[in-house]
Amino acid sequence: MDTKAAYKNGELDVAFTEEGKMYIQNKNANHTLHGDVKKTGVTPNGGVVFEVPTFEGDKELWPHDKMYGVYQESYGEDNVFMFLSLGLWNNPLKQLYPSMDGGIYFVGFHCKDDTVCDYSNAIQPPSKAGWW
């Protein structure tokens, strides 16, 4: 979920592969984008700093020449939820939070305990295979 006030309703899927690729797809508008991911560092909180120096696809999703980002996982207070924070920006990042001002900041979560989280009444229950 995009956390900024100007968020438009929709679904944006982001995937990182073992081969060092990043894929982004807007399911509602049928836009796709992909490129090579290069790890450039780590944040003080254990996040991964990366850049996508070149990518191919629809400029509707990302109109800039390069993409910079931070991917960070954290646990909730009772370790029931795992949260993913993903910040993307057109300027180099060294930590997650600058992406909140002028970039794109996403939050995702996964419930680690099915006895606590009941998705049976959700419109579209989450897949067991994909957390984010």
- 55-109 pLDDT tens trace: 888 887 788 889 999 999 988 878 888 888 899 888 898 888 766 777 788 888 8
pLDDT at 51 (0 to 100): 95
Task: State the Cα–Cα distance between residues 10 and 12, nearest whole angstrom.
Answer: 7
Task: State the Cα–Cα distance between residues 79 and 31, nearest whole angstrom.
Answer: 35
pLDDT at 129 (0 to 100): 43
Task: State the Cα–Cα distance between residues 6 and 11, nearest whole angstrom.
Answer: 15
Task: State the Cα–Cα distance between residues 74 and 65, nearest whole angstrom.
Answer: 30
Determine how many CB atoms are found less than 10 A away from the CB of residue 129.
5
Residue 49 has pLDDT above 90, yes or no: yes
pTM equals 0.74
